[in-house]
Chain A
Amino acid sequence: EIVMTQSPATLSVSPGERATLSCRASQSVSSNLAWYQQKPGQGPRLLIYGAFTRATGIPARFSGSGSGTEFTLTISSLQSEDFAVYYCQQYNKWPSYTFGQGTKLEIK
């Protein structure tokens, strides 16, 4: 099983600042990497797929990068609605897709 490790577990950032979230895979997943946002009491929402392609309706302040085993989600200027939990997921190893444990983005 491919293990996805996200860091940090919790990130405290002030509104308007940049946030950088990391995700590492235990083996290469090529660019088969997605990022999801989950707010309390809601289901996850797709932000990024293919490591760097924004999903429909996702603001340009969200960007993804990386390939192979190292990936990054960057939020360029945090808005109040961005404080949530973020998960990465690899969908390279069919059918054992795996998620990272999540990064909680909180207001500093």
Chain B
Amino acid sequence: EVQLVQSGAEVKKPGESLKISCKGSGYSFNAYWIGWVRQVPGKGLEWMGMIYPADSDTRYSPSFQGQVTISADKSLSTAYLQWSGLKASDTAMYYCARGNFYGSGSYFLDPWGQGTLVTVSS
């Protein structure tokens, strides 16, 4: 079974750093892009970016470029999303999902991880 399992909920203070993870299993982790999606409580889904674990090629949404860092460790079949200085506005649920090739530059997301809730509060 293809599965993405994310790390547990986090509570942080503004200005702190954080790295959350997404571990893939049941497929060749290196061969698929991994995407990250943000969902602010009670709101919709926002695309953040994607990484190709085989060579760490990373693409960011312009809205999140410079705000977060996406990385991967192919030896651990794990992708990461990190912040160097959290803000209260980063409070959200974060999902990872596998990107499935549909065409040049086109990838739909399936499956999704269970989500990691990040709460930033003083």
Contact = CB atoms under 8 A, between A and B. Distances in A.
Contact of B59 (A42, A45, A55, A94): A94
Secondary structure type dominating chain A contacts: loop
A87 B49 CA distance: 18
Interface string A83-106: 000010101101111111110000
B100 A49 contact: yes
B108 A49 contact: yes
Contact of A96 (B62, B100, B102): B62
B50 A95 contact: yes
Contacts of A96: 47, 61-62
A43 B114 contact: yes
A94 B46 CA distance: 14
A98 B50 CA distance: 13
Interface string B53-78: 00000011110000000000000000
Contact of B109 (A46, A50, A102): A46
Contact of A55 (B45, B95, B103, B110): B110
Contacts of A1: 62
A32 B49 CA distance: 17
A8 interface: no
A28 to B, nearest CB: 13
A87 B45 contact: yes
Contacts, number: 70
Size class of the A contact interface (CB-based, 8 Å): 20 to 34
Contacts of B85: none
A46 B108 contact: yes
A91 B107 contact: yes
Contact of B44 (A32, A45, A87): A87
Interface in B77-101: 95, 97, 100
B69 to A, nearest CB: 15
B105 interface: yes
Interface of A: 1, 32, 34, 36, 42-46, 49-50, 55, 87, 89, 91-92, 94-102
Interface of B: 35, 37, 44-47, 49-50, 59-62, 95, 97, 100, 102-103, 105-115
